[in-house]
Amino acid sequence: MAPTLDLPLPFYRGRVGLYHLLRTLGVGRGDEVMLQAFTCLAVPEAILATGATPVWADLEPDSVNLCSHNVRAKLTGRTKAIIAQHTFGIPADMGPLLALAAESGVPVIEDCCHSIASTVGGRPVGSLGLGAFWSYEWGKPVIAGVGGGARFNDTALQARLSTAQAATEHPPARRNAILEAQYVAFARLYSPHTFWWVRRAFRLLGRLRLAESNYNPVGLETAADFRWRMAPGAAQRLPAAIAAAAAFEPERRAQAEFYRSALANGSCRLPPVPAGTEAVYSRFPLFVANKEEVLAAAARRNLEVAGWFATPVHPLAGDELAAVHYRPGDCPQAERAATGILSLPVHPKVTRSFQRAVVELINRHGRA
């Protein structure tokens, strides 16, 4: 019988949970943490907040997930953890990564921010590595507002993580008010047909500091939110959000199957799903050869098609990548994936009529 796992402990965001996982493991200045390129700034942000250095590993060819061979090639005596990301809900190929962890003594932490129900060998993601972290924000399988969770699959480490979580502070009252207004606005205004203008409004409000942006500026100082616990509103909504995600799971699978069966082979390529795993998608990913053309066509028709990750460390580009220790050319497969990746929504507000419209757009404008 599989051991009973504790529920994730609530933190302000998923990256805050990752930060506390790493600190519980003793990760700090002079250490390295391995992670995949083709991710978002939030992940290296947490690593940098510990004082450690992110080390970038490449993807499997034509995939969206980590290549264990590249991880092996870049391991050093300073590597203290490997982060395995289950991108868009497609499980990482955990077998080779866990074997490498057992051989090297470097633990694997699972990034489950895109996944709540995917499995590897019948076991849920988040239960295979030494620990895992989740996000409950917009675009994720569980949506409670700004919030995240983390858990160790080791009793002693989980107790230490619980102590660290208990020492976190409540976010300031003004921040809580912004988060609540943001959640209400998103819940009321978002649909797959309003995606483009909601995104523009969110980015504007973020620049004006009237909304909680997805990313903090990368600098030498640790952002205040690494000291915070989950905001009260998100914590109150979380149990219902988890239940809603579980109830939505059959339709989540049905929406993904509709996309899979209706997309024409000549219009796109689908990332592979590793053998022995089951992907329960947070978004449905596909590769095209003419990404910007398809995105422009989708924007004209007000149909949600997302283009992230647009760079190997989204949204950083050019000289900005040096702030997270990424050099152009470090991970060519990830850079190639970023030039072609699109993703389609899998969400309770997605209808079959929307799916037919967006599939028709991909089939008309996309080139594999």
pLDDT at 204: 75
Q: Could you state, in order of their start, the residue ranges of all structural domains in the chain?
A: 249-365
pLDDT at 25: 98
pLDDT tens by residue, the chain, 368 residues: 345 678 899 999 999 999 999 999 999 999 999 999 999 999 999 999 999 999 999 999 999 999 999 999 999 999 999 999 999 999 999 999 999 999 999 999 999 999 989 999 999 999 999 999 999 998 899 999 999 999 999 999 999 999 999 999 999 999 999 999 999 999 999 999 999 988 888 777 767 666 676 666 665 455 778 999 999 999 999 999 999 999 999 999 999 999 999 999 999 999 999 999 999 999 999 999 999 999 999 999 999 999 999 999 999 999 999 999 999 999 999 999 999 999 999 999 999 999 999 999 999 999 99
Q: Give the type of residue at 355.
A: Q
Question: Rounded to the nearest 10 degrees, how much is the dihedral formed by the CA atoms of 319, 47, 202, 182?
Answer: -170
pLDDT at 199: 84
pLDDT at 6: 80
Q: Are 138 and 202 in contact (CB under 8 A)?
A: no
Smallest Cα–Cα separation from 16: which of 185, 137, 192?
137
The angle subtended at Cα 327 by Cα 35 and Cα 82, nearest 5°, is 10
The whole model's pTM is what? 0.95
**φ, ψ at 84 (rounded to 5°):** -105, 110
Alpha carbon distance 122, 26 (integer Å) = 31
Could you say which of 2.40.160.10, 3.90.1150.10, 2.160.10.10, 3.90.470.10 is the CATH number of the domain covering 249-365?
Answer: 3.90.1150.10
Q: Which ranges of the chain does DSSP label H, i.e. alpha helix?
A: 14-24, 42-50, 68-74, 94-104, 155-166, 173-189, 195-207, 232-262, 291-300, 332-340, 352-365
pLDDT at 2: 46
